[in-house]
Amino acid sequence: MDGCGGEEEMEDRRELEKEEKKEKDVVLMWGYLPGVSPDRLPLLHPVPVRRPESTKKDAWRDVSGGGCGFAMAISESGKLITWGSTDDLGQSYLTSGKHEEVPEAFPLPAEADIVKAAAGWAHCVAVTGNGEVFTWGWKECVPTGKVIADHRAVGNLEDEKQCGSLNEQVSPNSGTIANYEGKSSEESTKRRKLSSVKQGHESLSSGDDALATLPCIVALGAGVKITSVAAGGRHTLSLSDVGQVWGWGYGGEGQLGLGSRIRMVSSPHLVPCIESASYGKDKASGYNKGITSSEGQIYRVTGSFVKAIACGGRHSAAVTDTGAILTFGWGLYGQLGLGDSIDRSLPSQVPIDNLRVVNVSCGWWHTLAHAQSPA
């Protein structure tokens, strides 16, 4: 009896702590969010964001970079919350789940525990605690590929369908993608089983909606687990648990780091931040053999794996385990930090002496790095 009473007391205490955490937690917003701002005027001071009815018992877990005209945050239970858009914003309105003044959970599968999320101009990407990646929004930002089932379905999604407009690039370094519409393919079904999809996702049927893609699972191959994601204007990077970087979307300025100005990469590809053979957190640090560009120039990069990524409007950045920072893509405003305004189509190391970079963040036309002096 005493044991039962002790367990109940512990459970009550945990509930109390959860309630206290929820009461202390607040997400603040300010600036311009069309669906929230009174009379379409900017919010000039921080304003608390109200919790959705569906997650009212939840604390907040994190805030995420929203897209053009909408905001995103993550609840403690792993729900992606979106709000702030209006129905005259076209793509952004669709990408935000058509959520306006009232924050609501974006309709992803019920069991998807979102830990990180990011948005570009009109596309979103989110990663779960299991290392799966969801993406949706502007079609050119979302890889083409296989579709799993109709997005309006409820229950187990075990019938995978083949998309009629499949235009998948095939290479040893490419992955595939799965979307909630379409016919069957056993392999993906075994690899990915989704259940309890929220029925609230509205069908995309109008002319404007035809430019948008429903939430998809990016399949990066057996054993690949993603821990972080970043969204640029029209491109996406994801970082795996062994320090590999995968990219897809628009690459016209070299922001995908693949050594060319390929305009559209329609399936996930490995970005050669560090020579493939050097990847892995169990490898000893040091100089790798280098990356050779299409012009024959060799970039020698210190490190064995990538630990942080970031995307700007049309450029990207990555940080290695040894504190080196690499940039690639559009360089017109010096955002690559390489002493000129030239675009780079391969990751190039930024010369920073006597400092180790800890983390990196990119704006539309600039880059920030948090660095420390070596011990």
pLDDT grade for 160, boundaries at 50, 70 and 90? very low
Task: Return the H-helix or E-strand segment holding 47.
Answer: strand 43-48
Q: Which of 117, 119, 49, 53 is nearest to 80 (CA)?
A: 117
Using the predicted structure, report yes or no on whether residue 316 has a pLDDT greater than 70: yes
Q: How confident is the model at residue 152 (pLDDT cuts 50, 70, 90)?
A: very low
In the three-class reduction of DSSP (H, G, I as helix; E, B as strand; rest coil), residue 167 is classed as coil
**pLDDT tops 70 at residue 338:** yes
Tens digit of pLDDT for each residue in 118-139? Answer: 999 889 999 999 999 999 988 8
Residue with tokens 């890889």: 143
CA–CA distances in Å: residue 303 to residues 112, 236, 350: 33, 23, 14
- The mean predicted confidence, pLDDT, of the chain is 76
What's 210's DSSP letter? G
Helices (H) and strands (E) in the chain, counts: 3, 24
Structure confidence at residue 56 (pLDDT): 77
Q: Provide the 10 A C-beta neighbour count for residue 274.
A: 29
206 phi/psi in degrees, rounded to 5 = -75, 175
**Positive or negative, the Cα torsion across 346, 349, 350, 355?**
positive
Query: Does 307 score more than 50 pLDDT?
Result: yes
Record the tokens describing residue 29, joined without a space. Answer: 């917003």
The gap from C-alpha 72 to its chain's centroid, in whole angstroms, comes to: 12
The more confidently predicted of residues 289 and 331 is 331
Express each pLDDT in 5-62 by its tens digit. Answer: 667 767 656 666 555 555 678 999 999 888 888 888 889 999 999 888 877 778 899 9
Q: Per mean pLDDT, which range of 22-31, 208-217, 250-259, 316-325 is the poorest? A: 208-217
**What local confidence, expressed as pLDDT, does residue 144 receive?**
60
Give the tokens for residue 237. 């990077």
Domains of the chain: 25-224 (no CATH), 237-372 (2.130.10.30)
The answer to whether 362 and 315 have CB atoms below 8 angstroms apart is yes
Higher pLDDT, 187 or 251: 251
Name the pTM for this structure.
0.75
